[in-house]
Structure 1
Amino acid sequence: MPDERPSDESRAQAARPPQLAPEERAPRGPSPSIDATAERDPDDVLAAQEKSAVEALEATGRPESARSLSSDAWHDLRRNPVFLISALLILFLIVIAIWPGLIATRDPLYCRLGRAYEEPSAGHWFGFDNQGCDVYTRTVYGARASIAVGVCATLGVTLLGAVVGGLAGYFSRFWDPVLSRTTDIFFAIPMVLGAIVFLSMIKLGSIWPVVLVITVLGWPQIARIARGAVLSAKQNDYVHAARALGAGNTRILLRHILPNAIAPVIVMATIMLGTFIVLEATLSFLGVGLRPPTVSWGVDISAASDGMKFRNAPHILLYPAAALSLTVLAFIMMGDAVRDALDPKLR
């Protein structure tokens, strides 16, 4: 009986894959993924690569190394006790400035001359002033006007100074000499003297004339800082690369220069806020700033500044002065903490 087992040659042919005809073979060429990648926009490819890099970095468990300057600064500020204390104090002051009735239930303008110069007691913690008004209530309500002047003036000074300084630093060929000379003119005007002259001609007791004069006279310092920061930022390689790729001046200013030049402006604005609160109190003390019946710390300090009144009832001066000093100290402490967190040279 013949042997029916397949030979070695038959087994080898069975193991080979079937051969396709030339017309059935798939045409050679680039893979679909390569064609899709080649047809994609270069910006989309770069964004996808950056996203993949960030995801790979997060997968390794080291996300801290990918933090930006702002997130890194916030990471340091949360661990700084000076910042936490000052932030809590400022938050408390802002809350009582918006809603003073939360901790003071009396009317700050309700006065009884029969209780003038009374010392602090259980029902009236800070005593009464020379008009018989409750010093505690007036101290609480005085935070509203003083902080409102400081915040509004700081916003105006920061906006005006940052715009002028940024334009002078970026368009340095033409605008820098003009804006720098204008800044020098305003630097030559003493702020307190200029405010006294301006406010003495405006017989208004509201906060807006004070805010206006502080904004007009206080912007040059912010402008100088913004100009220097922009001059330094526009020399970086990423700005030259953006300009070489065809980015316009507006895009370069907003997307590349502003995020890298805003840190010193924020630090200076935080410190100047406390300075403007002191300036408002100084102008009110001199009688040209806020005037009665407006309630502010400067007005109360001016009313209690007579030597005889202070000797007979020192509490009418100490409490509003202490509130003013504590507020200014809180803003200065916050400014120092923010400066240490945003300045890489101090790390």
Structure 2
Amino acid sequence: MPEPDPHDPKDAIQSGGGGAMSLATGDAEALGTGPVPGGPASGKARSLWSDAWHDLRRNPVFVVSALVIAFLVLIALWPGLIASGNPLQCDLAKAQEGSQPGHPFGFDAQGCDVYTRTVYGARASITVGVCATAGAALLGGVLGGLAGFFGGWWDGLLSRLADIFFGIPIILGGLVFLSVVTGGSVWPVVGFIVLLGWPQISRIARGSVVGAKQHDYVQAARSLGAGNGRLLLRHIGPNAVAPVIVVATIALGTYIALEATLSFVGVGLKPPTVSWGIDISNASGQIRNAPHMLLWPAGALSVTVLAFIMLGDAVRDALDPKLR
């Protein structure tokens, strides 16, 4: 019996041992279509999150903003790493003086070191921004997700409630709310921001869940007997959370600016808490005589807000398939 010729397609198909598969694989690779599914070189498809991380690592905007935010979080947790002074220790004899050895940013109207207060002011701003964003994202995400999934009267009630909160001017609401809830610490400010911040995230979560529950894989899971809890946690939630993350990341910078604004008008954080908004308020009347008092805390606030907004834009570009 003659030996099969490996160059003859008929013999290759009839010879067994995966000849047809080898021929199909070779044809696919020759055409540049990659390995066929189930072939020896087949790879696992990447998910949305792995694709997003792959894009983010190569985005200079994300890298720069992430490094700035990492530095800000570091000094917020351990300000003593780069500032050895006491932000509450002041010397009136040095009031409004400029830069000196050991005091590169000069002194404020009370004789406090502007550099030390600028470094320590990051703690309050980062704390308010992170906690308010986490609270608003959790509350809005849960309420919006449930409304989008169940619909009916629950959806209508949540929509009307969100409309009420959307109609409250945020600065006016802060003046009223924080003038009643006194204390001057970060937690009343965080509570107010969560109270007025959840409706925006709730609408994003609702729309995302409404779109996700129409997909075929959700209908297939439901037909196989999956309950509401499993559908939300295993199938709909992971595929609907990306827009919420994007909006929350951008909102974090906005919340930091809102805290500084409320502290500036005197209803947010209050002394002895060290805040960029408080320092900007104290320096606003001395901008002609001592501009350095305003320049450094305002610059730190601007850089922080810009870093979080740039990070949110980069995350949005990576997670939105329409922008690829």
- Normalised to the residue count of structure 1, the TM-score between the two structures is 0.82
Structure (1 or 2) with the larger CA radius of gyration:
1
The alpha carbon displacement at 1:160 in A equals 0.5
Deviation, structure 1 residue 192: 1.5
Among residues 109, 117, 121, which one is paired with 1:142 in the alignment?
Answer: 121
What is the CA deviation profile of residues 101-159 of structure 1, one whole-angstrom value per residue up to 9, with x for unaligned ones?
00000000000000011111232110000000000000000000011001000000000
Equivalent of residue 337 in structure 1, options 305, 308, 314? 314
What secondary structure is seen at the aligned counterpart in 2 of 1:96?
helix
- Corresponding residue of 2:241: 262
Q: How many residues are aligned here?
A: 290
Does the CA contact (< 8 Å) of 1:191 and 1:218 recur in 2?
Answer: no
Structure 2 equivalent of residue 328 of structure 1: 305
- Give the aligned partner of residue 11 of structure 2: none
Q: Which sits farther off after the overlay, 166-175 or 143-152?
A: 166-175
Structure 1 position 218 matched with structure 2 position 200 = no
8 Å CA contact retained: 2:36, 2:42: no
1:174 counterpart SS class = helix
| Identical aligned residues as a percent | 70
**How far has the Cα of 1:234 moved from its partner?**
0.5
1:141-192 deviation per Cα after TM superposition (whole angstroms, max 9, x unaligned): 0000011001000000000000110011001123111111111111111122
Q: 1:54 to 1:168 in 2, by over 3 A?
A: farther
- What residue number does 2:250 align with? 271
The aligned counterpart of 1:60 is: 41
User: Relative to structure 1, is the Cα distance of residues 235 and 131 closer, same or farther in structure 2, using a 3 angstrom cutoff?
Assistant: same
| Preserved CA contact (<8 Å) 2:204 2:244 | yes
Quote the residue 2:27 is aligned against.
Answer: none
- Report the CA distance between 1:205 and its aligned residue: 1.1
Partner of 2:207: 228
2:154 is the alignment partner of 1:175: yes
Moved over 3 A (4+): 53-57
Which letter maps to 1:345? K
Counterpart-to-counterpart distance in 2, 1:297 and 1:147? 11
Equivalent in the alignment of 1:282 = 261
Q: What residue identity is the alignment partner of 1:324? A: L
Matched, 1:93 2:72: yes
Aligned equivalent of 1:251, options 230, 243, 247: 230
Unaligned runs of 5+ in 2: 1-34
Preserved contact between residue 126 and residue 315 of structure 1 (Cα < 8 Å): yes
The residue number in structure 1 matching 2:29 is none
Q: 2:109 aligns with which of 130, 133, 139?
A: 130
> How many Å apart are 1:55 and its aligned residue?
9.9
User: C-alpha displacement at 1:68, in angstroms?
Assistant: 0.3
Shift of 1:56: 4.8
Residue 101 to residue 56, structure 1, CA distance change in 2 (3 Å): farther
Query: Do the aligned partners of 2:128 and 2:190 also contact (CA within 8 Å) in 1?
Result: yes
Q: Distance in 2 between matches of 1:54 and 1:342?
A: 27
Which residue identity does 2:267 align to in structure 1?
Answer: V
Which residue of the other structure, out of 283, 288, 302, is the alignment partner of 1:304? 283
The letter for the 1-side match of 2:100 is: S
Counterpart for residue 218 of structure 2: 239
Aligned partners of 2:42, 2:144: CA distance in 1, in Å?
Answer: 42
Maintained 8 Å contact 1:93/1:143: yes
Matches of 1:54 and 1:259 in 2, distance apart?
Answer: 28
User: How far is 1:69 from its partner?
Assistant: 0.4
Residues 1:205 and 2:184 are matched in the alignment: yes
Structure 1 CA distance for aligned equivalents of residues 227 and 103 of structure 2: 63
Unpaired segments ≥5 residues, structure 1: 1-52
Report if the CA contact (8 A) 2:253-2:308 is conserved. yes
